[in-house]
Amino acid sequence: MTVAVQCEGVAKTFGASVEAVSPIDLHLVAGQTTALVGPSGCGKSTLLRMIAGLEVPSAGTVLIGGAPPSQTLRDADLAVAFQDPSLLPWRSVRRNIELALDLARRPKRAEEIEQLIRLVGLEGFADARPAELSGGMRQRAAIARALSTQPALLLLDEPFGAVDELTRQQLAQDLPALWEARGTTTLLVTHSVSEAVMLSDRVIVLSPRPARIVADVTIDLPRPRRPEMARDPDFGQFTEHVFAALSKGVADTLPKAAQ
Amino acid sequence: MTRYALGPIAALVLWELIARGLAGSFVLAPPSAIAVYLVENFGLIARALGVTLGNAAAGFVIGNCAAIALAACAIVWPRSDAAIRGAALLVFCLPLVATGPILRVVFGPGPWPQIVLAALAVYYTTLIPLLVGLRAVPSDWLDLLRSYGRGRFSALLHVRAMAALPYLVAGLQIAAPAAFLGAMVGEFTGAERGMGVLTIRAMRGMNVEMTWTLAAVATAVAMLGYWGIGAIAARMLQEDPPVILAAPAALKGGGLGTAAMVAFLVVLVWDVGLRLLDLNTFFAKGPLDVFDALALAPDARDTWSILLRALGETAVFLVPGYFAGLVLGALIAMLIVLVPSVAGTAMPIAIALRSVPIITTAPLVVLLMGRGAAGTMVLVAIMVFFPTLIACLHGLRQAPSRVMDVMNSYAAGPLQQLMRVRIPAMLPAFFAAARMNVPASVLAVTVVEWLATGNGIGSTMALSASVSDYDLLWSAVVIVSLLCVVGYGVVGLVERRVLRVYAPEQLA
Ligand SMILES: Nc1ncnc2c1ncn2[C@@H]1O[C@H](COP(=O)(O)OP(=O)(O)OP(=O)(O)O)[C@@H](O)[C@H]1O
Ligand SMILES: [Mg+2]
């Protein structure tokens, strides 16, 4: 089952004056992976949280598969990997994953959980508490947890921030394969332009706060993507393009901020 | 290990020497005499201890279950939070000295008054840290639950309950000695058996050895309770329970509205409760009776003059003792931090003394200081001192280590660090202690007045109970509870003023 996401004029203002997201129209195509890049503090997490139904937009509407996010939440049909891994410290990796399955009212199949833990490279650490893991390992546990409920919509907020380069490459191979097989609609927030290009079908570039879309780049590189493709001229063009949009967004905003 | 043992051993030796020096003055029993008395009267004391422990345990369980249920209710149904806190505070402010005799009349000579008093003595000190703990959850964890479409109840079950465990333990630790204290106060009101009964007997007979032995046993038991719960917790939790006495006073807009609602609720429950229980109206006075006695009755003026005079007598001891305890607690905490070598030894001793049911040593204070003003003031000050010391020490140590690193990198001296970082970090804990100490000091002063000095509001309440002037007794209960709540509120107001300047993040 795949779902599309439609954001119409979605905006968020915190308090009276902190405008985090200016009205944004954004359509996530069902089954696609969309990356969201933008400077730090521009409102990426806020936009993601509004799509997840965790934050109420100040204006505009979000529809997931034609229904408001509250419906998707009720069906536990989305999963979020938060910027902070937010694993419960008193539960082991396995039990943290089991909690998600319990909360989503999904059956707990030991074999599937084991497979997920292996997928994110945590074999041998299933029974470790979060405190016994490194920052990157915790992030991977959070990814495994988000994948465990087989959500139709997967929202990842900088999931690889603390993950080392080699593991990141491995995950960049394995995760899209899984999403494709499941038809998961994925939104990936990231700071890394090359990671955005490598993983996604489409990259949305946001301006500094308040966020607005400054570029919408379709990445039509063949799948499956391999690490070697990073040296591909096409790949270089895409990253160049995204990077230019990113810089332009910042440059356009700077004079205004300086006034 | 030797370091911890050295202090107490020195204290014991000193105590023995002083007591021997004072022999014949009937104030101080040496440790050796206490040991002898304990061995000779082992059966008697063991039986009494068994009875009191049983009552204290029953009250401990009931009171803490009530606290857990109330806290859960406040979390699952946040609108009830203000009402629950307010009503709980009011009930906590009931003067045990008066509720004791009333419960005695209601329940008769059995164990129930002791059990109820023990429960009343513990539920608040568990409820408040629990509420803090249940809320001290990273918002990400709650978002995680929401992202799977789950609500408050799941949050309570899966996240908040576990996150609050250390706070619950902190509350239970304080509750263990408090339950023992409550049970003993209950026994003072005319039980047939128990440590409280023996204490009264010892005091009436001016039996110095017996008084000191009972106080020593009560202290040892209370400390064991405190340490026992701590030890069990340490095995379960892997982290030290936090020392939290009370959340910052919540007085966001509508404070008065909430207060009015709570007052209405309490009056309603009081009135309907008495009617439902169908108690004899001779001693069970409702809110209308109290209003009548204080406002309409022909002798209302006399009632007021009795109450005001008694309150005046009490205030003279209570207020200086309260402030002396607060100031000393904070000052000594700062000294300990400035001289870190002291802290290692001082902290365990202070924690141990914090758990002593100070009230049960009231007879000692009377023996030592006489029935005059000094004894009362000292007792109030001691009662306030230890919780303040512990809270302040904890606060002083909570100074964020990164900020301390910055201070060190500028080679700021210990005094600078104290003034600029540690004291601001200490203030929230200090004020929490100051608030919780309002009812505690009232409890101390009324018990001493009742048992020993024979003046002030404590004695007035005890007398009115013994001559069955129940209009006066209930009126006194109402007035004392209200004053106590007002005192708590005033400290809360000062707290908000000060924290707004020094620790605004605490008020978020
Ligand atoms: N709950 C909140 N209350 C007030 N302001 C907020 C809140 N959450 C975010 N903001 C503000 O909104 C802006 C955008 O925040 P957001 O977390 O969405 O940024 P981001 O793009 O995810 O940044 P980063 O890449 O650093 O994670 C920031 O200026 C932040 O200060
Ligand atoms: Mg973010």
In this structure, the answer to whether residues B291 and B168 fall within a common structural domain is: no
Distance CA B392, CA B441 (A): 18
Q: What integer pLDDT is reported at residue A113 of this predicted model?
A: 94
| Gap from CA of B424 to ligand 1 centroid (Å) | 29
Residue B366 banded pLDDT, cuts 50, 70, 90: low
| Gap from CA of B429 to ligand 2 centroid (Å) | 33
Distance CA B92, CA B90 (A): 5
Using DSSP bridges, classify how beta strands A5-14 and A33-37 pair: parallel, antiparallel or unpaired.
Answer: unpaired
Examine residue B159 and state whether it is found in any structural domain, yes or no: yes
| Alpha carbon distances (Å) from A101 to A69, A182, B149 | 19, 17, 12
Residue B88 has pLDDT above 70, yes or no: yes
In this structure, the answer to whether residues B188 and B289 fall within a common structural domain is: no
- The residue in chain A having the minimum alpha-carbon distance to the alpha carbon of residue B154 is A103
Residue B244 banded pLDDT, cuts 50, 70, 90: very low
Yes or no: say if A84 and B143 are a contact pair by the CB < 8 Å rule: no
* Higher pLDDT among residues B343 and A170, named by residue: A170
pLDDT digits (tens, 9 = 90+) for B385-426: 888 887 888 777 766 655 666 666 666 677 777 777 777 778
Residue B302 banded pLDDT, cuts 50, 70, 90: confident
In this structure, the answer to whether residues B158 and B291 fall within a common structural domain is: no
Ligand 1 binding pocket includes A20 (Cβ within 6 Å): yes
Helix (H) or strand (E) holding A183: none
Q: What integer pLDDT is reported at residue A232 of this predicted model?
A: 86
Examine residue B91 and state whether it is found in any structural domain, yes or no: yes
Distance CA A24, CA B175 (A): 55
Considering CB atoms only, which of B144, B150, B162 is closest to A86? B144
Range with the largest mean pLDDT of A86-100, B20-34, B94-108, B280-294? A86-100
pLDDT digits (tens, 9 = 90+) for B215-226: 888 888 888 888
Residue type at B120?
L
Ligand 1 binding pocket includes A49 (Cβ within 6 Å): no
Examine residue B60 and state whether it is found in any structural domain, yes or no: yes
Distance CA B291, CA B363 (A): 36
Alpha helix stretches (DSSP H) within B29-138: 31-40, 42-76, 81-92, 96-107, 112-135
Contacts of B508 in chain A (CB under 8 A): none
Ligand 1 binding pocket includes A45 (Cβ within 6 Å): yes
Characterize A92-130 residue by residue with b for buried, 16 or more Cβ atoms within 10 angstroms of its Cβ, and e for exposed: bbbbbbbbbbbbbebeeeeebbeebbebbbbeebbeebb
Residue A183, Ramachandran bin (φ over 0: left; ψ between -120 and 50: alpha; else beta): left
Residue B251 has pLDDT above 50, yes or no: no
Task: Locate A4 and state its tokens.
Answer: 């599309």
Ligand nearest to the CA of A206: 1
Residue A256 banded pLDDT, cuts 50, 70, 90: low
- Please list, in sequence order, all residues whose beta carbon lies within 8 angstroms of the beta carbon of residue B29, skipping any fewer than 6 positions away: B19, B37, B208, B209, B211, B212, B213
Nearest CA to ligand 1 atom 18: A43
Q: What integer pLDDT is reported at residue A97 of this predicted model?
A: 94
Distance CA A103, CA A87 (A): 14
Measured CB to CB, residues of chain A less than 8 Å from chain B are 49, 52-54, 73-76, 78-80, 82, 84, 86, 88, 90, 99-100, 102-104, 149
Q: A81 forms bridges with which residues in the sheet?
A: A156
* Higher pLDDT among residues B345 and B53, named by residue: B53
Examine residue B264 and state whether it is found in any structural domain, yes or no: no
CATH architecture of A5-77+153-258: 3-Layer(aba) Sandwich (3.40)
Q: What integer pLDDT is reported at residue B408 of this predicted model?
A: 64
- Please list, in sequence order, all residues whose beta carbon lies within 8 angstroms of the beta carbon of residue B433, skipping any fewer than 6 positions away: B245, B326, B329, B387, B388, B390, B391, B392
In this structure, the answer to whether residues B477 and B331 fall within a common structural domain is: yes
Question: Across residues B301-328, what is the average pLDDT?
Answer: 90
Distance CA B86, CA B81 (A): 8
Distance CA B204, CA B444 (A): 20
In this structure, the answer to whether residues B348 and B231 fall within a common structural domain is: no
In this structure, the answer to whether residues B238 and B315 fall within a common structural domain is: no
Residue A258 banded pLDDT, cuts 50, 70, 90: very low
Distance from CA of A214 to the nearest CA of B (A): 29
Instruction: Write the ipTM.
Output: 0.83
The mean pLDDT of chain B is 81
Residue A180 has pLDDT above 70, yes or no: yes
Residue A25 has pLDDT above 90, yes or no: yes
Ligand 1 binding pocket includes A135 (Cβ within 6 Å): no
The overall longest dimension of chain A from CA atoms, in Å, is 59
Strand order in the sheet with A5-14: A18-28, A5-14, A59-64
Residue B44 has pLDDT above 60, yes or no: yes
Examine residue B77 and state whether it is found in any structural domain, yes or no: yes
Ligand 1 binding pocket includes A17 (Cβ within 6 Å): no
| Alpha carbon distances (Å) from B479 to B17, B214, B329, B473 | 46, 33, 29, 10
A73/B146 Cβ within 8 A: yes
Residue A188 has pLDDT above 70, yes or no: yes
Q: What integer pLDDT is reported at residue A255 of this predicted model?
A: 57
Distance CA B328, CA A165 (A): 57
Distance CA A215, CA B230 (A): 59
Range with the largest mean pLDDT of B98-107, B122-131, B316-325, B428-437? B316-325
Residue B237 has pLDDT above 80, yes or no: no
Q: Peptide bond before A224: cis, by omega within 30 degrees of 0?
A: yes
Distance CA A148, CA A107 (A): 10
Where are the extended beta strands (E) located within chain A? 5-14, 18-28, 33-37, 59-64, 78-81, 153-157, 185-189, 202-206, 213-218
Distance of CA B29 to the CA centre of its chain: 28
Nearest CA to ligand 1 atom 5: A14
In this structure, the answer to whether residues B382 and B299 fall within a common structural domain is: yes
Q: What domain range includes position B412? A: 283-508
Alpha helix stretches (DSSP H) within A6-92: 44-51, 69-74
Q: A203 forms bridges with which residues in the sheet?
A: A35, A217
Q: What integer pLDDT is reported at residue B5 of this predicted model?
A: 66
Yes or no: say if B186 and B103 are a contact pair by the CB < 8 Å rule: yes
Task: Locate B405 and state its tokens.
Answer: 């690193």
Yes or no: say if B439 and B92 are a contact pair by the CB < 8 Å rule: yes
Listed range (A249-253, B118-122, B174-178, B297-301) with the worst mean pLDDT: A249-253
* Higher pLDDT among residues B11 and A132, named by residue: A132
| Gap from CA of A43 to ligand 1 centroid (Å) | 5
- The residue in chain B having the minimum alpha-carbon distance to the alpha carbon of residue A87 is B141
Contacts of B154 in chain A (CB under 8 A): 103
Backbone angles phi, psi at B126, to 5 degrees: -90, -40
Examine residue B299 and state whether it is found in any structural domain, yes or no: yes
Residue A9 per-residue DSSP state:
E
In this structure, the answer to whether residues B180 and B100 fall within a common structural domain is: yes
Q: CATH number for the domain including B423? A: 1.10.3720.10
Question: Across residues B77-83, what is the average pLDDT?
Answer: 84
Residue B245 has pLDDT above 50, yes or no: no
Listed range (A242-246, B24-28, B435-439) with the worst mean pLDDT: B24-28
Distance of CA B232 to the CA centre of its chain: 22
In this structure, the answer to whether residues B192 and B288 fall within a common structural domain is: no
Yes or no: say if B445 and B458 are a contact pair by the CB < 8 Å rule: yes
Yes or no: say if A150 and A172 are a contact pair by the CB < 8 Å rule: no
Question: Across residues B256-272, what is the average pLDDT?
Answer: 82
Distance CA B196, CA A203 (A): 76
Q: What integer pLDDT is reported at residue B398 of this predicted model?
A: 67
Examine residue B197 and state whether it is found in any structural domain, yes or no: yes
A99/B138 Cβ within 8 A: no
Distance CA B430, CA B387 (A): 9
Listed range (A36-50, A224-238, B337-351) with the worst mean pLDDT: B337-351
In this structure, the answer to whether residues B222 and B79 fall within a common structural domain is: yes
Nearest CA to ligand 1 atom 26: A40
Identify the residue whose tokens are 């546990």. A141
Residue B105, Ramachandran bin (φ over 0: left; ψ between -120 and 50: alpha; else beta): alpha
DSSP assignment of B142-158:
HHHHHHTT--HHHIIII
Examine residue B262 and state whether it is found in any structural domain, yes or no: no
The SS3 of residue B223 is: helix
Q: What integer pLDDT is reported at residue A161 of this predicted model?
A: 81
In this structure, the answer to whether residues B398 and B467 fall within a common structural domain is: yes
Q: What integer pLDDT is reported at residue A249 of this predicted model?
A: 81
Q: What integer pLDDT is reported at residue A187 of this predicted model?
A: 95
Ligand 1 binding pocket includes A56 (Cβ within 6 Å): no
Q: How many domains does chain B have?
A: 2
Using the Cβ of B139 and the Cβ atoms of chain A, whether some distance falls under 8 Å is answered with no
In this structure, the answer to whether residues B228 and B371 fall within a common structural domain is: no
Strand order in the sheet with A78-81: A78-81, A153-157, A185-189, A33-37, A202-206, A213-218
Q: What are the structural domain ranges in chain A?
A: 5-77+153-258, 87-150
Residue among B225, B216, B226, B196 at smallest CA distance from B387: B226
Distance CA B172, CA B60 (A): 9
